[in-house]
Structure 1
Amino acid sequence: MAVRHHYFAAPREAVWAALADGARYADWVVGTREILREDPAWPAVGSQIEFAVGWGPLKYRNRTVVRICEPLDRLELEIKMGLLGAVRVAFQLLPWGEGAVLIVDEHPLRGISAGLHGPPGEVVLSLRNRLMLRNLTAIVAEKKREGAGEPAASRVPG
């Protein structure tokens, strides 16, 4: 099971706002090319985001379903990947001084991805999640700047 901890120099409300923003899902979830459909109720339990993954001309349609949502504390997603199966990604958000700690726990549930689960897969998931957390950190910082009233034109792109 790939578990990562990440500290954000922002209040957990800011981190939660980024996690709960379905329109930005493709901006931080590694491998997601574009959002095809976002359920307006996102991130309510049972709501979904349909998205495309792939590289170059290869493009596949997948979806993420919210299984558990406890605002500001916990978000658990099931990513359904067709023949590859399904993966559970759980986010637990803890207040930590002036900031927040996000714990990400990802593991395959069923399908081909579950059969490939083991040390090599853990390394790949760990690297992927490190990049995902870097992307999420950039979005939290961007939302923090926007909340401070800094105009978009004065921001330097990531």
Structure 2
Amino acid sequence: MSTTSRPVSATPEQVWSVLSDGWLYALWVVGAARMRGVDDTWPDVGSQLHHSVGSWPLLIDDTTEVLEVEENRRLLLLARGWPAGQAHVEIIVEPRGAGAVVTMVEQATSGPGALIPKVIQDPQLHLRNVEALNRLAHLVEGRTR
């Protein structure tokens, strides 16, 4: 299980405004190439993002589903990216001073990715999530200026 955190110069509500706009997902999630659709009820439990992963011309259409949600605080997602597999991704937003800290906890749950030993898997997930949180922070902070 990989855990990555980053401070953001924005309130938890401002961070949540980006997280709750599923059309922005491909702007900050590393590996997501494009959005194909967002359920009208996003980010309610059971709602899905319909996205593609990879690089053209090798794009794979898949989905990410909300498993649990606490508005302005937490999302637990089932992220699919077959044939690599699927993962649970928990995004936690906590207030810190005038801003927030965003934490991503990710664990491969099935498919070939889950077979990779944790000692190899976790550093790779961490590096990817450092970049994802940097993108998210820039997106949130840019919208709040």
So what's the TM-score if we normalise by structure 1? Answer: 0.88
Alignment of 1:41-120 (within 5 A): 41-120=41-120
- Structure 1 Cα separation of the partners of residues 37 and 64 of structure 2: 11
Compare CA radii of gyration and give the structure with the larger one. 1
Contact map agreement 2:102 2:133 (CA 8 A) in 1: no
- Residue 14 of structure 1 pairs with residue 14 of structure 2: yes
- Structure 1 Cα separation of the partners of residues 34 and 100 of structure 2: 28
The amino acid that maps onto 1:18 is V
Counting strand residues as a fraction of each chain, which structure ranks higher? 2
Counterpart for residue 2 of structure 2: 2
So what's the TM-score if we normalise by structure 2? Answer: 0.95
**Deviations for 1:85-137, whole angstroms, at most 9, x for unmatched residues?**
21000011111111111111001111111111421211111110011011101
Unpaired runs of 5+ residues, structure 1, are 146-158
Unpaired runs of 5+ residues, structure 2, are none
Using the TM superposition, give the Cα deviation of residue 83 of structure 1 relative to its aligned residue in structure 2, in angstroms.
3.0
- Structure 1 Cα separation of the partners of residues 25 and 97 of structure 2: 27
Counterpart for residue 121 of structure 2: 121
The amino acid that maps onto 2:86 is A
- Structure 1 Cα separation of the partners of residues 52 and 117 of structure 2: 23
CA-based RMSD: 1.1
Higher RCO structure, 1 or 2 (CA under 8 Å, sep 6+): 2
The amino acid that maps onto 1:64 is T
Using the TM superposition, give the Cα deviation of residue 9 of structure 1 relative to its aligned residue in structure 2, in angstroms.
1.3
Task: Find runs of 4+ consecutive structure 1 residues off by over 4 angstroms.
Answer: none
Alignment of 1:135-154 (within 5 A): 135-145=135-145
- Structure 2 Cα separation of the partners of residues 97 and 103 of structure 1: 16
